[in-house]
Each structure stands twice: as structure tokens, then as C-alpha cells.
Structure 1
Amino acid sequence: MRYMATYDLMETIRNTNQWLGATAAAMGSYPATALFPSPVFQLMAAWGEVTERSFHRMVVKPDWGITSVVAEDGRDHVVQIEKLVERPFGDLIQFKVLGRPEKARRVMLVAPMSGHYATLLHSTVASLLPDAEVYVTDWHNARDIPVSEGKFDVEDYTLYLVDFMRHLGPDINVVAVCQPAPLTLAATAYLAEIDPEAQPQTLTLIGGPINPDAAATDVTDFGRRVTMGQLEEMAIQRVGFKYDGAGRMVYPGLLQLAGFMSMNSETHSKAFADQITRVAKGEASDHDKHNRFYDEYLAVMDMTAEFYLSTVERLFKNGEIAKNEFIVDGHRVDIGKITDVAVKTVEGTKDDITAPGQCIAALDMLTGLSDDKKASHVEEGAGHYGIFAGKSWRTNIRPLVLDFIDQNAGRHAAQAAKRKAAKKGKPVAVKAVKKAAS
């Protein structure tokens, strides 16, 4: 399957279905069809509208849709997205609230690179923004990155996180969601050894596979059954001629989406059938519940082949982070070297992607961290999505995470003051550093 023709065939099928949907919507909406007392044309137009929108969303990066936030003064303040660090495979962005005094809480959200864009964390960002300065890792679609930019695997991902943390300073509070949790833990440990004063203040790991063997799921079972050769043959393709990354080896977003949908095919089929009926009856709207969810869910991005394959082989099959044997740029990372970062884990009892036990395993690996700097929470009845973006996040988990950040606030103030002064090229007075730390 590792051919451009296969990639272009998938794109052709997607494009054709989008065209069929648009055609059906146009034909079913002709004024003349109103002369015939039959629901056929209404259903045709409805099917076309839903189909065209769905297949179009598959190649569109969703907008964050966060334009303003209400501050303590009761006014709406404009939110501006700024790129702080730009890299070929991902940027560090800030949601800057204009005209609002800077918040003491500073949160860096590490978004997953697992098929969807960072905008999957839209509701997470929106919920944190009133109470914190928010930064997000905005990963790029591999199909748009020229081959000349080189490779990007789990080690490169980890080093990107190291650079992002260094840029934000030691008073940053890092929150890693799902897939990046083990690599964020490794990046923190890397800093603990290489640049201790750049370590984050707190680290919150939400539903991440730190030790995939701690609790089996369909994901971990699949990782054990399939060989790397089979996986490469089944999943990897070369980007077609339509995109800037032509020739790059990737795990295509469309192929990933097919896997996502097949896991709950009956649920998705019913959701689309119900939406077609609602559209035909005139009960649907552009931003109804169905469209809000699927506009994001259907928007998928390609992953570089080396990132996907190294994730499966090194993190799931070999369990390098779980065994504390992960190597980054020739350096063996020791999780036990983390001694000055407060760490919290969050899990959901109904998480079928990262089952309870996989994430909390990080706390046992932190042998150099005192118990008073460790915390964990298991949310009863919460699924994977719910622990970072659903009702459970909004009502229970978000307040707990903010409290955890507040409880550990100021511990890295001295290091932060030194870093800020160094950036400005000014020496820091000892008294000023002690005052910042107090």
C-alpha cells in the first residue's frame, strides 16, 4: 500500500463522494420538485447536504472558534492566537486575551498527535481561558510538510516539547492529554537531567498510556497482535501529488478515520441517518449538536510514518517508557530524576482507550519525587473524551487541576525570575530572586 496511487485513490473516493453529495443536494432542492407531493426529493437533498458536508470536513482544519472571553471586569475581551515558536512539524501558540491583566496561572496544553488536530481540545481551552494564560502545541498535518524538512518520530516529538517548555519558563504548568502523556513525562525527565532550572512547575497527565500493559484495551490488544511489518504494509502510504508533502511516508488521516468509524459503526450510522431525517424535516441547523461534533471528529490529519510506527513499537510493544528505558537523542531518560515537579494523573473508570491503571502507573515510576508532590484522580463514570473535554472535565476535573496548580504555585518563581532576566540580558539581584520565590 506504500504508493502515491493508493493515497490519491482514497482522496479521489473522498472527493467523488463530496461531489455526489453536492449534486444530490442541488437536484433535490430544485423549485420544480415542490410540485410533486413526495418526500423523495426532500430526502435526496438532505442526504446530499449531510454527505457533502461530511466528506468536505475530512480535509479541512477546524477553526478554534474562540474569539472572546469574559474577564473579571465583566467585559468581553478579544482573544488573539499568536505563534510563539514556529517549527516545521508543529508550533507553540498562545491564546492571548487582549486588554486583560496577565493571569498568574500559566498552562501549556500538550495536544495529541493521533489523527485529529489540536482543535480537538477546543472546549478544554475555552474552559481554562477565563482563569489562566493558555498555550497549546499546534501540530501540523504531515501531508503539508515537504520531504526536505526531514523525519519526525517520538524522539523529535519529545525534543519539541523540551524546547516549548524551555521557551515558556519553569513557572509553566503542563497538561498532557492522552497520547502525548508518556512523551511529556519523558521530556520533563530529560529537562530534569539536562536543564533542571527549565523544568515545569507542575505536570498533569490525563488519560495517557504511560504503561499500556497495566490494563488491557482493544488498542493494546491490537498492538500485541500485529507485527511491525504488517502494520507498515497496512497503514503506511506516500502522500499524493496534490499536497506539499508529496512523497512523504505517512499514516493517512482518511485511513485513521476509517478505523475510528469502524470501532463504533452502528452508533455512527444511526447518527448520520437521524441527521438526514432532521435535515429533511427542517429541524437541523448549521451548528446543531451533530454538526458541532462531526465537524471536529471528521477533520483528520496525516501522521508521519516514523512517528506512528515508533509510537507503536517503542511505547506499546517494547514499553520503553514504562520500563524506564526510553532514549532521546542518544541520552537514556531516567524518570526517577524528576524531583522538583508536582505530578498529577487523571483517569476515567469507563475509558476504553486508556483504561484506568495505565496513566497512574507514572506515579510509581517517579521514585525521586516525594509523595506530597504526587496526586491522582479517577473520575467515576467518565469515558476517554469526558475526562478532558466533556461534562466530567467541566464539573469535576477542571477545578481539581486548577486547585493542584494553585497548591504548587510559586515553587519555581526564583527560576522563572532568573530566566526572564536572562532573556532581557539583565542580571538578577539575589533579593529579587528570593522575593519572587517567597
Structure 2
Amino acid sequence: MKYMYTYDVMESVRNTNQWLGASARAFAAYPAMAATANPLVQWIGAWGEVTERTFARMVAKPDWGIPSIAMEDGKDHIVRIETEISRPFGDLIHFSVVGRKPMKRRVLLVAPMSGHYATLLRKTVISLLPDCEVYITDWHNARDIPVSAGKFDVEDYTLYLVDFMKHLGSDLNVIAICQPAPLTLAATAYLAEEEPDAQPKTLTLIGGPIDPEANHTEVTDFGRSVTMGQLEQTMIQRVGYKYSGVGRLVYPGLLQLASFISMNAETHATAFQDQIFRAAKGEASDHDKHNIFYDEYLAVMDMTAEFYLSTVERVFKNREIAQNIFVVDGKKVDISKITTVAVKTVEGEKDDISAPGQCKAALDLLTSLPDSKKAFHVEPNAGHYGIFAGRSWRDNIRPLVLDFIDDNATDEKPAPKTTPMKPKVVAVK
């Protein structure tokens, strides 16, 4: 399937469905339709509204939409997004709170490159901003990166993280969420051996597949059931002529989205059916619960073929991180070299993507790290999304992570432990 044709067919199907939705909505909006007093017309308009929005969101990167932050000085401070490092495959960005003194807690959020944009962590960023200086890895959509930019695989990803951490300095607390957890652990070990003074103070790994075999899920079962040749032939396509990355081999975001939805197909079908009925009755709104969630969930990005294939082969199949045999740029990364960085793992009891045990496996690899610098937490009744952006994160996990950061601070007077602070929401356009 490594053809532009198949990539363009998928895009054509998406575009056609968006057009059908827009046409149905426009048809139902004709004044003459109101004279029929037929409920079917309202239903057609509602179907068109939901369908158009659904398929339009699949190719648009969501805005960060970070609100202003209400601080102790009684003022609302707007948040400015600044690029610290710009690279072809991803940037390091800083959420600078205008008019606020730099915070003692400096946090780097390592966002997943698993089909969604870094904006998936918007709520995580908002929850940390009142108490931290927040930085994040903002990965680029592979379809927009020219072939001339070269390759990008798990080793390149790891070296990007190494450079980002070196740039931010050792007074840094890294939080890796989901997919990047094993590579962030590897990047920290790389620094421990090559440049120890650049290591972060703490490393928090949330719901990541350090050892996929520790507890099987549908994701790990799929990785074991197919060969690399089958994946390359069925999942990899070439970007079509519409985008700057024309000709680049990618794992399309639309394919990843299809796999996400198939895991809970009945739930998603019910959600869209209910939304259509709400729209028909005039109960839906632009920022209701359904649209807020699916505007982000449906916005997908392509991954480079080499990153997708090397992740499956080296992290899931060969378990190179779990077996401590991972190699970066010709150098073996030894996780036991981490001796000073405090490490905490966080898992959700009901996580069906990275099940409990997969992330905690990192602690067993840290053979040279004192037990006093190791910590773990399993959040009861929490799923995958909830452990970094839902109620479980806000009410329980976030305070624990901040306390962990403070307990391992090198300052004589660590930042005070805080309870979750609700920022005043004033949208910045």
C-alpha cells in the first residue's frame, strides 16, 4: 500500500463526507424547508452539522486555546506561546505567563507522538500553569515535512529529547505521558552517561509501555500478532500531492484514528447518534461536552513510517527498553547509569492501552537508583485518558506529582505544596 493513490483515496473519502455534511446542513437551512414542518428536515440538518464538523476536524491542528491565569496578585495573566527550539520534526515551546516571575518548578511535558497533536495535553498544561513554568514538545505532522528533511525514528526522537533537556538545564522536572515514556527514560539514561550535569531533577512516567509484556492489552496483542512485513505493507503509505511532505512514507493519522475508534466502536457510535439527536432538538452547542472531546480526539497527524515501524519493532516486539539493550546513535543506553534522578511512575487501574505493570517496570531497570528516589502510584478506577487530563489527574495525580517534584528539589526552600488551583477562564484568541 506504499502508494500516493491509497493516501489520496483516504483523503478523498474524508473530503467527500465533509462535503456531504455541509450540503445536508445547507439544504436543511433553506427557508423553504421550514414551510414543510417536517421533522426529517431538522434531522437532516443535524446529521449534516455533526458530519461536517467531524470530518473537518480530522485534518486541522487544534489551537492551544490556553486561558489567562488568575494569580495571587489578583490579576489575570495572559499566556504567550513561545518557541524555544525549532526543529523539522518538532519544536520545544514554552507557555510564558506574561507579567509573572519565573516559577521554581520548571516542567517539561513530553507529549506523545502516537497519532494526536500535543494539544491533546491542553488540560494538563492548564492545570500545571498556576504552579509551574511549563514547556512541551510540539511534534509536527509528518505530511507537512518535506522529504528533504530526512528520516525520523525512535533514535532521532530520543536525541531530540536529549537536546531539549540540555537546553532547559538540570533544574528541570520531566513528565512523559504515554507513548514517549520509554524513550524519555532512555534519553535520561543517555544524559546520565554522556552529560550527567544535564540530567533533570525528577522524571515522572505516566501510563507508558516500558515493558509491554508486563500486562497484555489489545495494543500489545496486536503488536505480537503481526509481522513487520505485514505492517509495512498494510499500514504505510506515501503522502499525496496536496501536502508539503509529498512522497514521504508515513503511517497516516486517519488509519490510526480508525484503529482508535474500532477499539470502542459501539461507544463512539452511540455518542455520535446522541449528538445528532441533540442537534436536531437544538440542545447541542459549539462547545458542549461532545464537541470539546471530539474536536481534539478526531484531530490526527501522520507519523513518519520509520518512527512507527521502529516503535513497534524495538519497543513492543523486541522490548529493547525493557531488556535494557536499547541503542542510540551507535551507543548502548544503560538505564542503570541513572543514579541521581528521582523517578515516579503513574498508572491507571483500568487503563486498556498501557495496563498496570507496564510503566512500573521502569523502576526495576533502575538498579543503581536508591529506593528513596523511586515512587509509584496506581490510580483506582482510572482509564488511560483520566490519568493525565481527567478528574483523576486534577484531583489526585497532579498534587502527588507536584509533591514528588518538591520532595526532590535541590533548593534549600522548596516551593510550597499546593492544592489544585482553578484558573479563571478568559480565552485568548
TM-score range, shorter chain: over 0.9
Q: Choose between structure 1 and 2 for higher RCO, CA contacts under 8 A separated by at least 6 residues.
A: 2
Letter in 2 for 1:310: S
Cα separation, 2, equivalents of 1:411 and 1:98: 25
Letter in 1 for 2:95: F
The aligned residue for residue 144 of structure 2 is 144
Structure 1 segments unaligned to the other structure (5+ residues): 414-438
The aligned residue for residue 11 of structure 1 is 11
- Does the CA-based 8 Å contact 1:110-1:174 persist in structure 2? yes
**Cα-to-partner distance string for 1:75-130 (whole Å, 9 max, x where unaligned):** 11010000000000000000000001111000000000000000000000000000
The aligned residue for residue 98 of structure 1 is 98
The aligned residue for residue 59 of structure 2 is 59
1:33 Cα offset (Å): 1.0
In the superposition, the TM-score normalised over structure 2's length comes to 0.95
Map 1:316-327; keep pairs closer than 5 Å.
316-327=316-327
Letter in 2 for 1:55: F
**Cα-to-partner distance string for 1:366-412 (whole Å, 9 max, x where unaligned):** 01100100001010110000000011000000000000000111269
For 2:115, what is the secondary structure of its paired residue? coil
Letter in 1 for 2:407: Q
The aligned residue for residue 33 of structure 2 is 33
- Measured at CA, do residues 412 and 81 of structure 1 come closer, stay the same or move farther in structure 2, by a change above 3 Å? farther
Query: Over aligned residues, Cα RMSD in angstroms?
Result: 1.0
Does 2:236 match 1:248?
Answer: no
The aligned residue for residue 382 of structure 2 is 382
Q: How many pairs were matched up?
A: 413
Letter in 1 for 2:119: T
The aligned residue for residue 132 of structure 2 is 132
Letter in 2 for 1:282: G
Letter in 2 for 1:254: L
Give percent identity, aligned residues only.
75
For 1:388, what is the secondary structure of its paired residue? helix
The aligned residue for residue 108 of structure 1 is 108
- Runs of 4+ more than 3 Å apart: none
Map 1:4-403; keep pairs closer than 5 Å.
4-403=4-403
Cα separation, 1, equivalents of 2:273 and 2:221: 31
Cα separation, 2, equivalents of 1:275 and 1:131: 36
The aligned residue for residue 434 of structure 1 is none
1:37 Cα offset (Å): 2.1
- Does the CA-based 8 Å contact 1:201-1:411 persist in structure 2? no
Structure 2 segments unaligned to the other structure (5+ residues): 414-429
The aligned residue for residue 417 of structure 1 is none
1:67 Cα offset (Å): 3.4
The aligned residue for residue 428 of structure 1 is none
In the superposition, the TM-score normalised over structure 1's length comes to 0.93
Cα separation, 1, equivalents of 2:222 and 2:137: 28
1:34 Cα offset (Å): 1.1
For 1:58, what is the secondary structure of its paired residue? helix
Q: Name which of structure 1's ranges 332-341 and 28-37 shifts more when overlaid on structure 2.
A: 28-37
For 1:254, what is the secondary structure of its paired residue? helix
